[in-house]
Structure 1
Amino acid sequence: MSATDTPPRPLLAAEGITKRYGTTVALADGRLTVMPGESHALVGRNGAGKSTLVSIVTGLQTPDSGAVAFDGEPAPPAADRDAWRRKVACVYQKPTVVPGLTVAENLFLNRQPTGRGGFLSWRRLRERAAELLDAWDIRISPDAVTADLKVEDRQMVEIARALSYGTRLIVLDEPTAQLDNREIERLFARMGALQESGVTFLFISHHLQEVYEVCQTVTVLRDARWITTASVADLPYDALVEAMAGEAATGRAGQGPEAAARPGPPADAPVRLAVRGLTGSRGAYADVSFTIRRGEVVGLAGSSASGKVELAETFAGLHTPTAGEAELDGAALPFGDVRSALDAGVGCVPRDRHEQGLVAGMTIADNATLSVLDRLGRFGFVGTGARRNVAGELIERLDVHAEGSEQQVAALSGGNAQKVVMARALASDPKLLVLINPTAGVDVKSKQSLLARVDSAREDGTALLVVSDELDDLRRCDRVLVLFHGRVVAEHPAGWRDRDLIASIEGAHRG
Structure 2
Amino acid sequence: MTHLSDTLLLHVEGLGKHYNGNRAIENINLRLPKGIVHALIGENGAGKSTLIKLLTGLVRPSAGTIVWKEKEVIFKSPQSAIQEGIVAVHQELTLVDTLTVCENIWLGREPRTRLGTIDFAAMERESKRLMQELDIHIPTGEKVKHLSIADKQLVELIKAIAHDPQLLILDEATSTLGEKEVDKIYQVVLKFKQQGKSVLFVSHRMKEIFQFCDTCSIFKDGMHVTDGLIGDLTSSRIIEYMTGRDISQTYPPKLKDMDPVNKERFNTGPILEVKGLFTRSGLQNVNLSLYPGEIVGIGGLQGHGQSELIQALFGLEQITEGSIAVNGRSVKLNKPLSAIREGIQLVPQDRKTEGLFVELDVAENLIPCSLDRISKGPVLNRRAKTQAVKAMIEKLSIKVASETQVVKLLSGGNQQKIALGKWLLKDAKVLMLIEPTRGIDIKTKMEISALLRKLASEGYGVIVSTNEMNELIGLSDRVLIMFEKQTVNELKDGDITEQNILNAAFGKRGMAYEQR
Please give the alpha-carbon distance, in whole angstroms, between the structure 2 residues aligned to 1:80 and 1:213.
29
Distance 1:455 1:112, change over 3 A: closer
Name which of 346, 360, 363 aligns with 1:362.
Answer: 360
1:167 is matched with: 165
2:479 is matched with: 480
Structure 2 CA distance for aligned equivalents of residues 130 and 316 of structure 1: 37
1:258 equivalent in structure 2: 253
Q: Which runs of 5+ in 1 are unaligned?
A: 1-5
State the distance in 2 between where 1:366 and 1:378 align: 18
Show the counterpart of 1:59: 57
Tell me how far 1:106 sits from its aligned partner.
3.6
Tell me which residue corresponds to 1:249.
Answer: 246
Q: Is the 8 A contact 1:86 1:165 kept in 2?
A: no
Match of 1:502 in 2: 502
- Give the structure 2 partner of residue 426 of structure 1: 424
Does structure 1 retain, via aligned residues, the 8 Å contact 2:299–2:466? yes
**Residue 336 (structure 1) aligned to one of 314, 331, 334:** 334
Cα distance between partner residues in 2 of 1:19 and 1:48: 13
- Look up the equivalent residue of 2:68 and give its one-letter code: F
1:403 counterpart letter in structure 2: A
Task: Indicate how the Cα distance of structure 1 residues 62 and 497 shifts in structure 2: closer, same or farther if over 3 A, else same.
Answer: same
Which residue, 48, 73, 76 being the options, matches 1:75?
Answer: 73
Partner residue in 1 for 2:439? 441
What is the SS of the residue equivalent to 1:317? coil
Q: CA deviation at 1:202?
A: 0.8
The counterpart of 1:200, out of the listed 188, 195, 198, is: 198
Q: How do residues 139-154 of structure 1 correspond to structure 2 at under 5 angstroms? A: 143-145=140-142, 147=144, 154=152
Structure 2 equivalent of residue 270 of structure 1: 269
Q: How many residues align?
A: 501
CA distance in 2, matches of 1:100, 1:368: 30
C-alpha contact (below 8 Å) 1:326/1:332 kept by paired residues? yes
Q: CA deviation at 1:232?
A: 0.8
Amino acid at match of 1:54: I
Inter-partner Cα distance in structure 2 for 1:261 and 1:97? 45
Q: Aligned runs of 1:288-299 on 2, under 5 Å? A: 288-299=286-297
Contact in 2 for aligned 1:97/1:146 (Cα 8 Å) = no
C-alpha contact 1:303 1:484 (8 A) present in aligned 2: yes
| Deviation of 1:152 (Å) | 5.8
Q: Deviations over 1:319-343 (max 9, x none)?
A: 3322222121233434233233222
Give the equivalent residue in structure 2 for 1:3: none
The alpha-carbon distance between structure 1 residues 29 and 383, as it changes in their structure 2 partners (threshold 3 A), is farther
The amino acid of 1:269's aligned partner reads: T
Q: Secondary structure at the match of 1:258?
A: coil
After superposition, the Cα gap between the structure-2 partners of 1:388 and 1:45, relative to the gap in structure 1 and judged at 3 Å, is: farther
Which residues of structure 2 form unaligned runs of 5+?
none
- Superposed displacement of residue 130, structure 1: 5.3
* Structure 1 contact 159–170 (Cα < 8 Å) conserved: no
Q: Quick check: 2:278–2:286 contact (8 Å CA) kept in 1?
A: yes
Counterpart-to-counterpart distance in 1, 2:118 and 2:304: 43
Counterpart of 1:86 in structure 2: which amino acid?
E
> How many percent of aligned residue pairs carry the same amino acid?
29
| 2:323 pairs with one of 292, 305, 325 | 325
Q: Is the 8 A contact 1:129 1:142 kept in 2?
A: no
Matched position secondary structure for 2:333: coil
Q: Distance in 1 between matches of 2:92 and 2:62?
A: 28
- Alpha-carbon distance change, 306 to 140 in structure 1, aligned in 2, over 3 angstroms: closer
Q: Residue 452 of structure 1 corresponds to which residue in structure 2?
A: 450
Distance 1:509 1:401, change over 3 A: same
CA contact (8 A) 2:299 2:505 kept: yes
Give per-residue Cα distances to partners, 1:19-64, cap 9 Å, x unaligned. 3333643323444332211111112111222222211110111122
Aligned to 1:286: 284
Q: In the TM superposition, what whole-angstrom CA distance separates every residue of 1:194-213 from its partner, at most 9, and x where no partner exists?
A: 32122311111111221111
With over 3 angstroms needed to count, the CA separation of the structure-2 counterparts of 1:80 and 1:369, relative to structure 1, is closer
Q: Any conservation in 2 of the 1:70–1:87 contact (CA below 8 Å)?
A: no
Alignment of 1:30-41 (within 5 A): 30-41=28-39
Tell me how far 1:402 sits from its aligned partner. 2.4
Alignment of 1:462 onto 2:452 = no
2:457 and 2:206 mapped to 1: Cα distance?
30
Please state how far the C-alpha of 1:155 moved relative to its aligned partner: 4.5
2:46 and 2:78 mapped to 1: Cα distance? 28
Structure 1 counterpart of 2:228: 230
Once the two structures are superposed, what CA deviation does each residue of 1:177-218 show, in whole Å capped at 9, x if it has no partner? Answer: 221122222321232123212231111111122111111111
Whole-Å separation in 1 of the counterparts to 2:185 and 2:307: 22
Higher alpha-carbon deviation: 356-365 or 383-392? 383-392
Match of 1:112 in 2: 110
| SS at 2:228 equivalent | strand
2:281 and 2:317 in contact (8 A); partners too: no
- Alpha carbon RMSD of aligned pairs, Å? 2.8
Contact 1:360 1:408 in 2 (8 A): yes
What is the CA-CA distance between 1:492 and the residue it aligns to? 0.7
After superposition, give the CA deviation of every residue in 1:105-127 in whole Å (9 maximum; x if it has no partner).
44433333333332333344445
Give the structure 2 partner of residue 345 of structure 1.
343
Q: Counterpart amino acid of 1:96?
A: T
